[in-house]
Amino acid sequence: MRAGGMSGGAAPVEPQQRRDEDVGHRIPAGRAALSGLVATAAALGVVELLAGALGGVQSLVISVGDAAIDSVPGWLERAAIAALGTHDKPVLLTVVVLVCALLGAGLGLLARRRFAIAATGFVLFAGLGVAAALADPRGSALGTVLVGLLGAAVGVVLLHRLLAEARVPEPGAGGQQEGVASETDRRRFLLVAAGVTALAVAGGVGGWLLTGRERLGELRAAIRLPVPFRQAGPVSPGADLEIPGLTPLFVPNKEFYRIDTALRVPIVDPTTWHLEIRGRVDNPFTLTYGELMAMPQIEADITLSCVSNEVGGDLVGNARWQGVPLRPLLERAGLQDGATQLLGRSVDGFTAGFPTITALDLEEAMVAVAMNGEPLPAEHGFPARLVVPGLYGYVSATKWLSAIELTDWDVDGYWIPRGWAKEGPIKTSSRIDVPAPGSRVAAGRRPIAGVAWAPTRGIEGVEVRVDDGLWQQAELAERLDVDCWRQWYLPWDATPGRHVIAARATDGLGEVQTDERTPVAPDGASGYPVIEVVVEG
């Protein structure tokens, strides 16, 4: 704060040497901070609106969040996912916006005395967002820089304007009541601030609405899926036990777990999308969506699991996938020596790699275009993703696929340097769904039921143990496919009291699910599920 004596001071100052705002006015800290905050909101609103309206420019807010996700150490990212689960994204976005608000308020305070420095701060601030957005392979560099500059300009101009509105008479400056704003003046300032904020929010919301989700919905609805040349088998009634509370054989798309690093679901326009097959191949080629859809397709029931799925967790699901098998694509490309890894690349820069031999061995490994009879939902990788039986998603299931790159084994996919194993075969697993873990149930005869999966190996048996009893063989639902999970159940005479129920699966190789508990990192949780229920008498 300036010394109060200066403006009413003895030394006369030439008018032309005095800045307008120095004459008998001061800006209260609260108003300055609010001005900075509102100017920041306006800058962000303009940026987000333009990013939504212009195809080639990514949202700067989202980009900063994405950059944060990509640059935090692996253990922190894992801890965040563990603590927040699927709420990690809204929480991160809120943090980014709050940090922006704080920075803006700080710049507002600074601008009272050092406007030029605050303005520079605004430009640097925008520069950070631009830098983050430039790291995204989807954005146009020029567009991103221009939008960032425009945002900074809007912020600086508005900050200047708002600070002018924010002034109140200095003590001793005469005229109005000393040092306090008149009521009309106060109202005017708040009105201007509220008006600009409303416009900023409208801009931000408009930007989100303009990202093409609507249009994508229409495009997806118009897609006609080709009839696969190899269809998955019919689902006999015995394959889905339909026990209340038991996870259905096919998890509906809307309920299918979603795991990815994308802060906002990538909206990919299939009319401009391409899939490149490149790297260590003799004949690299590119497919349009139309060309991909015109290729012979297969259908397969495959259970997909996340390596972060805890024992008993729900980051696992089963779907009927349809798509183009990988093997003919690789044969057409002509594999070169040393093409030992198949690296999927996503439009958003994510990568996942697995042994090429797996794609050649497994007929069901595919570029999937459909899930449970409809084109892939945006959340699950539209227009195309990889699905490989038996491998955790982090090494195989690249969504929003843009390239299949053949590399040697030294290239690492996204999660490998972040503390996860290079190879990610899905461990033989089971889960108890019924009775719900931790629930209270009535005494009497009732089923214990769940699912078990060991994609590529299949499930041969599930055993259940109640309290200190013997392991008992559960009934298995009919097998659809080795890649697909299997439901199981055991009738149980539930007696009053607290009970501990455990389950363990045996896969097609005769391997029994281990009782040895390991955490999810680095290569997936092991150990069989154990739940507790209270039976009421």
Ligand X SMILES: Nc1nc2c(c(=O)[nH]1)N[C@H]1C(S)=C(S)[C@@H](COP(=O)(O)O)O[C@H]1N2
Neighbour-count burial of 184, counting CB atoms closer than 10 A to its CB (0-12 exposed, 13-18 middle, 19+ buried) = exposed
* Residue showing tokens 């980014």: 96
What is the C-alpha separation between 356 and 367, in angstroms, rounded?
Answer: 14
Question: Which span sits near ligand X by CB under 6 A: 43-51, 196-204, 278-286, 393-401?
Answer: 393-401
| Amino acid occupying residue 527 | G
What's the min distance (Å) between Cβ of 317 and ligand X?
Answer: 6
Out of 279, 325, 393, 458, the only residue in the binding site for Mo ion (CB under 5 A) is 393
**Stated length of the chain:** 537
- Output 258 or 446, the one with its CB closest to ligand X: 258
E runs forming strands in 260-340: 274-279, 285-288, 298-305, 316-325
What's the min distance (Å) between Cβ of 177 and ligand X?
Answer: 59
What's the min distance (Å) between Cβ of 260 and ligand X?
Answer: 3
Out of 100, 292, 397, 432, the only residue in the binding site for ligand X (CB under 6 A) is 397
Q: Report if residue 350 touches Mo ion, rule: CB under 5 A.
A: no
Q: Helix or strand or coil: residue 534?
A: strand
> Which of ligand X, Mo ion, none interacts with 260 (beta carbon under 5 to 8 A by kind)?
ligand X
> For the chain, what is the total number of helices (H) and then of strands (E)?
12, 21
Residue 307 backbone dihedrals phi, psi, to 5 degrees: -65, -25
Q: Report if residue 456 touches ligand X, rule: CB under 6 A.
A: no
**Interacting positions 96-115 with Mo ion (CB under 5 A):** none
Out of 115, 208, 257, 471, the only residue in the binding site for ligand X (CB under 6 A) is 257
What's the min distance (Å) between Cβ of 394 and Mo ion?
Answer: 4
Residue among 212, 264, 316 at smallest CA distance from 89 = 264
Out of 189, 289, 321, 350, the only residue in the binding site for ligand X (CB under 6 A) is 350
What is the C-alpha separation between 48 and 27, in angstroms, rounded?
Answer: 30
Q: Helix or strand or coil: residue 243?
A: coil
Kindly tell me the sign of the dihedral angle through the C-alpha atoms of 393, 397, 400, 405. Answer: positive
Residue among 342, 326, 534, 308 at smallest CA distance from 415 = 308
Out of 26, 399, 486, 504, the only residue in the binding site for ligand X (CB under 6 A) is 399
**Interacting positions 241-270 with Mo ion (CB under 5 A):** 259
* CA 25 to centroid of chain Cα atoms: 49
Size of the site for ligand X (CB under 6 A): 19
Question: Which span sits near ligand X by CB under 6 A: 98-106, 172-180, 251-259, 269-277?
Answer: 251-259
Whole-angstrom Cα Rg for the chain: 30
Sheet hosting strand 444-453, strand order edge to edge: 429-434, 444-453, 486-494, 475-476
- Select the residue whose beta carbon is closest to ligand X and give its number: 393
Out of 66, 88, 136, 260, the only residue in the binding site for ligand X (CB under 6 A) is 260
Q: Report if residue 259 touches ligand X, rule: CB under 6 A.
A: yes
Out of 258, 327, 422, 446, the only residue in the binding site for ligand X (CB under 6 A) is 258
**Interacting positions 282-321 with Mo ion (CB under 5 A):** 306
What is the C-alpha separation between 219 and 375, in angstroms, rounded?
Answer: 10
**Interacting positions 292-321 with ligand X (CB under 6 A):** 304, 306
- Output 105 or 304, the one with its CB closest to ligand X: 304
What's the min distance (Å) between Cβ of 71 and ligand X?
Answer: 15
**Interacting positions 81-110 with ligand X (CB under 6 A):** none
> Which of Mo ion, ligand X, none interacts with 405 (beta carbon under 5 to 8 A by kind)?
none
Q: Helix or strand or coil: residue 252?
A: coil
- Output 119 or 304, the one with its CB closest to Mo ion: 304
- Running DSSP on this structure, what letter comes out for residue 518? B
**Helix orientation angle between 29-53 and 60-71, rounded to the nearest 10 degrees:** 90
Which residues bind to Mo ion, rule: CB under 5 A?
A: 259, 306, 393-394
Which residues bind to ligand X, rule: CB under 6 A?
A: 256-262, 304, 306, 346, 348, 350, 380, 393-394, 397-400
